[in-house]
Amino acid sequence: MKKRRQLNIGQKQNEEQINRQPSAEQSNSARQEEMSTGLQEKNPKLLVSSEKGWDLKHRGIGFEDGIGGPAESIGHSKEKEKKEVRLKRTEDNPIRRKSLTNEKSLFQERPKTKKKTNQGDWQSVRVQKGDLENPITSNHFVGEDLFLKNKPKKEDIIQGGIGSCYFLAAMGSIVQSDPKKIPSMMEIQGDSVTVQFYRFDSNAPDGQQWVPAPIQIDTSLLQWVSQNDKQNSQLFASTFRIGENLKYAEWHADVENKSLIVKKDAYYEAAIWAPLMEKAFARFSELYGQYGDALGDDSTESGYSQIEGGLSNSIYPLFYGNDVQATDYYFNRYDPANSQEVDLDLVQLLLQHQGVGLEQDEKMHLTTSISPNYSMERLTDQIHHIFIQEFLKNYSVDFYSDLHTLYNRLLDWSSTVDVSEKLIVREDIVKLVQEMITPNKWGFLNSDVEEGEFRRLQDLLLVVNQLGDDSGIGQRFVYAWHAYTIVDSRIHNHQNQRLSLSLADLAANQANISPTLSTITIRNPHGRNVEDRLGTGDPGNDGFMDVTLEEFQRVFKQFEHTTVKK
């Protein structure tokens, strides 16, 4: 396997650079007092908003910012005969239980026959709002929890508007193979979170040059905040999942305007660890550089700008320090004329990812991507391959004309040197692709006719269709310039039986490996936006997607692999 040039993944193309100067408010107020640990708690510098009417600010997060969890309840109102009640449990003295069976634990009704006195806090009510079965409910997440059920999951990683897919994809791989790693790095005390990263120290002895670099931040997250309505905000950073099951509830009663109110504050776990790791990474980048190997400029540039686009391979030392054993890049081969040929170097990586050929205490992390340039090169090759097929004469002249126009524009793109002109040509190519893949225009592109040649073409058209965006809606297969976590792989033979292979016998079994029955599971860090060839809507499967080995070889180009000691 040959080491090639490195490609930064996640950096949006054809977009203006974000203004990286901090606001005056951030420069003056972000510095905070020294914490008892000796660390200075400080959030990353803010980005200057490029959206009219909106500012980017760090804000505390609430239940409404997360994904999942139940809706709040307004309870039922019911008229009651005038009565007097005395509250036993108030907002300052609630009962903490998941459920209650008797309202008497919340309030006491004054018997009608009892002689009224001025003793006690009796209040007159005519209406009751809420009861034990349907209380007025406010939902919250448990602030002292970082994880759902005390452990991270890949599904917790849900990328937002920051181009950190390479970081999140690497983190997904760590959660997959070493789930105890991230909990061991994070500590929360109140609103303060400490993350134990590593940075590179060139003055330290060989083998000990990655030294601890704890980062301390608070639990606020970067959000869009409306300039006209400060209560109107939306997360810009990665978001978080809320658990489905109630952890505990606090019950109390209240009287407002002669209404007796039964209230329930319901508390759920929330996986806030993932967006907080992203935030800590941005702060780390300000101090030590994006990959921890350079002192950052802690005076001007926002860490959020610094982490836009990068390399998954360079992330693992921040988590594992000196336990990183080896890191490399592999760029696979794909020939449209030999689409069923198995790339053994790639299969070897997939096997090593499952532990084959590694030491017992070693683990290989593996992520993948394809750049816009490679995606168009592969589309060009696929169209050229179809042009020389005999079956093409059986299809309409209009289809041939569309394909030929696209092919010529791809050649124009390939021969263009000027960067600005190249982007203009690319925009033309995307428009031509969008016209070609319009559902029902050339329906055979989504079929297996001609031994799947058109479907292979369609998949590459769908990749080019989404160039410049890693979360666009509509027809898609996978996104270029976007990192994916490789979750699992299953190498099967032509009888669809799983093969148990060693690295030593891999070459001898090449002919036994089926590229169409072998499958790989990948995950999009956005937690959505997977294969949708017809643009019918996201299946809502948390970003997981199964592809065949043949599809995997065809649509992806760059594979980043790192071996660490667990």
Least confident residue range of 32-41, 95-104, 206-215, 403-412: 32-41
Q: Which residues pair with 210 in a beta bridge?
A: 200
Q: pLDDT value at position 470? A: 65
Q: Nearest 10 degrees: CA dihedral of 227, 229, 232, 237?
A: 20
Q: pLDDT value at position 80? A: 66
Longest distance between any two alpha carbons in the chain, whole Å: 102
Q: pLDDT value at position 30? A: 34
Q: What is the mean pLDDT of residues 228-254?
A: 92
The tokens for 522 are 């990948």
HEC readout, 434-460: HHHCCCCCCHHHHCCCHHHHHHHHHHH
Q: What is the DSSP letter of 75?
A: -
Q: How many residues does the chain have?
A: 566
| Amino acid type, 321 | G
Q: What is the mean pLDDT of residues 191-212?
A: 95
Q: In terms of pTM, does the model score above 0.85?
A: yes
Task: Please check whether residue 395 is in contact with residue 436, taking contact to mean a CB–CB distance below 8 angstroms.
Answer: no
Q: pLDDT value at position 24? A: 29
Least confident residue range of 80-89, 115-124, 353-362, 364-373: 115-124
Using CA atoms, how far residue 432 sits from 12, 118, 378, 405, 457, in Å, is: 21, 83, 16, 8, 14
Helices (H), 416-527: 419-436, 453-465
Q: Which of 442, 528, 507 is nearest to 238 (CA)?
A: 528
The number of helix segments (H) and strand segments (E) in the chain equals 12, 19
What angle (nearest 5°) sits at the alpha carbon of residue 511, between those of residues 508 and 514? Answer: 125
pLDDT tens, position by position, 420-475: 999 999 999 999 999 999 888 998 998 888 999 999 999 999 999 888 766 666 77
Task: Please check whether residue 277 is in contact with residue 147, taking contact to mean a CB–CB distance below 8 angstroms.
Answer: no
Please compute, for residue 274, the number of CA atoms within 13 A of its CA located in the half-sphere on the CB side.
34
Q: What is the mean pLDDT of residues 81-89?
A: 88
Spatial distance between the Cα atoms of 267 and 63, rounded to a whole number of angstroms: 9
Structure confidence at residue 28 as a pLDDT band (50, 70, 90): very low
CA 278, 284, 289, 294 torsion-angle sign: negative
Give exposure, 85-123, as e/b (b: 16+ Cβ within 10 Å).
bebebeeeebeeeeebeebeebbbeeeeeeeeeeeeebb
Using CA atoms, how far residue 164 sits from 311, 455, 525, in Å, is: 10, 31, 9
The tokens for 150 are 């005390």
Spatial distance between the Cα atoms of 538 and 433, rounded to a whole number of angstroms: 21
Highest mean pLDDT among 15-24, 116-125, 208-217: 208-217
Structure confidence at residue 35 as a pLDDT band (50, 70, 90): very low
Using CA atoms, how far residue 303 sits from 39, 56, 275, 298, 540, in Å, is: 18, 14, 14, 9, 31
How far, rounded to the nearest angstrom, does the alpha carbon of residue 295 sit from its chain's CA centroid? 28
Spatial distance between the Cα atoms of 455 and 104, rounded to a whole number of angstroms: 67
pLDDT tens, position by position, 490-544: 999 999 999 999 999 999 999 999 999 999 999 999 998 777 777 777 666 789 9
Q: Rounded to the nearest 5°, which phi and psi values hold at 165?
A: -55, -35
Task: Please check whether residue 185 is in contact with residue 300, taking contact to mean a CB–CB distance below 8 angstroms.
Answer: no
